[in-house]
Amino acid sequence: MDNIREEDGMRVVVGAALISALLVLAACDDPVEQTDSSKEETIDEAEKVEQDEDEEATEEENSNKQETEQSTNQEQEVQGELEVFYFDVGQADSTLIRHDFEGETYKVLIDTGDWQSSDVTHYLNDLNVEVIDLVIGTHIHADHIGQMDEVIENFNVDEVWMTGNEGSSETYESAINAIETSDVNYHEPRAGEEYEVGSLNVDVVHPNVLTGDYNDDSISAHMTYGNVSFLFTGDAEERGEATMLEGDYELSADVLKLGHHGSSSSTNPTFLETVDPQVAVYSAGANNSYGHPHKEVVERVLNENIDLYGTDVNGTVTITTDGESINVATQHSGEVEAQDQEVEQQEGPPTSTSECINLNTASSEELQSIVHIGPDRAADIIDLRPFDAVSELTQVYGIGDGRLGDIKSEDEACVGGS
């Protein structure tokens, strides 16, 4: 800019007196204040246009450079295949995500199966897993964090995520104790947070705030590898799904993990339409007493021409992707079909006596025949077992002395078959 103004000053010297030229040159020392002369205004205007053109050219060059860099970075971010193992853990949940990036193998474990088994540990050992970068306990029910203490104790875990809801079950206490007595990092994620695990992008889409409902507060995450995406929602039900839809989050995904084991309490039609997956997977035990997956959910998914796989039918389901396409492999062949819930009841001897409903052995459906016990409280009762007395039902969220009195008056609930 100074050079341009000095040349213009020389033009003024040619057509003006020496003193005028000196005044002009003196004025050129402060270019910000050169606004008196009409000629100088014209010159400044031309300089501004030229400067704007230069800036536009620079911005366009930088934009093209950034686009090239982003394209190059995207190609660099995906190195080889990502594997997603939907483990067959019965009426529970556990999924391992694994991929290589820049010479390192990254692993994310979502949920840790049921407290009455060690199958997750066995699966991880079979896959030669030693280090886990992130363990996510979507919520604190025992079929999702059941083996978290074992996982932390037997593998080198870097970080654990949990919702922040507190429980009183032995399973919950064991998980928290394992976290506190180890050197793992601990975090309670909230919607809107974004992370990178190797070349896997992890966007938290739920919860924003806790409601106290363990299922609906499930940690939910949209994960992207190259151009392929996955959505995990734990046991979030219709209210949790509605909250996700209200948020400004990316929910569309190529692969959807059906919420709450394929229960009709989840996978609302609007939510399914928004996610619009090619493939859906659910985790459920064969002939489970809950009737999972529920008939209406299976029909809803299949009617949308979505490929559906379930661990009760297919065993462990493995999805691999190179960031562009996906491939599905199953432990067992078979097709998921919509069935009436009546034919899916658990076989074997009755779980409660004819005189009362045993809190320690009854199925969810049987527990729900007790006054004030719905699906969520039945799940909490199963999580909190064993009970030594009916009065211990006050440990269940939402059951206080008043409702406990109603339950005792009804005289349907018992422990130990009496």
Q: Looking at per-residue confidence, does 62 or 208 come out higher?
A: 208
At 355, the pLDDT band (50, 70, 90 cuts) reads: low
Q: What is the pLDDT of residue 52?
A: 55
Write out pLDDT tens, residues 82-138. 999 999 999 999 999 999 999 999 999 999 999 999 999 999 999 999 999 999 999
State the average pLDDT over residues 336-364: 63
At 279, the pLDDT band (50, 70, 90 cuts) reads: very high
Q: What is the pLDDT of residue 310?
A: 97
**Among 279, 275, 363, residue whose Cα is nearest residue 314:** 279
Phi, psi (rounded to 5 degrees) for 79: -125, 100
- Least confident stretch, 51-60, 63-72, 363-372: 63-72
70, two tokens = 């982003």
Q: What is the pLDDT of residue 138?
A: 98
State the CB neighbour count (10 A cutoff) for residue 31: 14
Q: Looking at per-residue confidence, does 54 or 411 come out higher?
A: 411
Q: What is the pLDDT of residue 285?
A: 95
Per DSSP, the three-state class of 297 is helix
Question: Alpha-carbon Rg of the chain, whole angstroms?
Answer: 31
Does 63 score more than 70 pLDDT? no
How far apart are the C-alpha atoms of 328 and 324, rounded to whole Å? 14
- Least confident stretch, 115-119, 244-248, 269-273, 390-394: 390-394
At 60, the pLDDT band (50, 70, 90 cuts) reads: low
- Could you tell me if 137 and 160 are in contact, meaning their C-beta atoms sit under 8 angstroms apart? yes
Residue 158 CB partners (closer than 8 Å, separation 6+):
131, 132, 133, 134, 184, 185
Cα–chain center distance at 368: 30
State the CB neighbour count (10 A cutoff) for residue 145: 32
Q: What is the pLDDT of residue 361?
A: 85
Q: What is the pLDDT of residue 53?
A: 55
How far apart are the C-alpha atoms of 241 and 220, rounded to whole Å? 10
* DSSP bridge partners of 232: 221, 257
Per DSSP, the three-state class of 70 is helix
Q: What is the pLDDT of residue 340?
A: 75
Q: What is the pLDDT of residue 341?
A: 60
Percent above pLDDT 90 for the chain: 59
Q: What is the pLDDT of residue 59?
A: 55
| DSSP secondary structure string for all residues of 362-393 | --HHHHTTSTT--HHHHHHHHHH---SSGGGG
Question: Strand locations in 147-300, DSSP E?
Answer: 156-161, 185-187, 194-197, 200-206, 220-225, 228-232, 255-257, 279-282
DSSP 288: -
How far apart are the C-alpha atoms of 233 and 163, rounded to whole Å? 12
Question: Strand locations in 92-238, DSSP E?
Answer: 95-101, 104-110, 131-136, 156-161, 185-187, 194-197, 200-206, 220-225, 228-232
Q: Looking at per-residue confidence, does 16 or 256 come out higher?
A: 256
- Could you tell me if 269 and 300 are in contact, meaning their C-beta atoms sit under 8 angstroms apart? yes
Write out pLDDT tens, residues 307-345. 999 999 999 999 999 999 999 999 999 999 988 764 333
At 304, the pLDDT band (50, 70, 90 cuts) reads: very high
How far apart are the C-alpha atoms of 243 and 292, rounded to whole Å? 24
Does 49 score more than 50 pLDDT? no
State the average pLDDT over residues 145-149: 97
Q: What is the pLDDT of residue 397?
A: 83
How far apart are the C-alpha atoms of 186 and 179, rounded to whole Å? 8
What is the length of the chain?
418
208, two tokens = 């924003």
State the average pLDDT over residues 247-261: 96
